Structure 1
């Protein structure tokens, strides 16, 4: 964590993302979804697809934020547009089960 913090303070996106992940996993720091959101939001604005996916998951599960499928979809789309496969799966899942959007099996298959 000490080295991640040093790199994060210099704006290194991967370190900022890693700190957020550690806050989620309760590794080296207590689990804190609000802290995770803060660190990961810094990186999403740099176009980091993995962080955009992580934000979508926080909204999908309501971890540290109010559960919001529409917000989850927006973040999934941001990462999916960069080819992030897990986000593409998330979009299909929301379509398949009609979570926050109308159920659409055709879109779920795309």
Structure 2
């Protein structure tokens, strides 16, 4: 089973619209490109008939585990939950005097 470019583009547009609604434009994320090496990004992509969501570190290695979903809605929910937690963690790091993963007005003082 594959996901065609037209379907991926429509799903991407849905995610990007919600990113804008949540003011998450400055966060690092990658949509439907599992080979992208953006450090500290949250990834959502399609592989082997499933939607996959994971986070990457500074070397673009997967942090923790990858989450697999049959449903786009479930994957989207996990993707946004992961972005939210990234904001929360980086905000806390900055407040405690630690360095954030990367600059963003969502957690800068």
The two structures have a TM-score, normalised by structure 2, of: 0.27
The two structures have a TM-score, normalised by structure 1, of: 0.27
Higher helix share: 1
Q: Which has the higher contact order (CA 8 A, sep 6+)?
A: 2
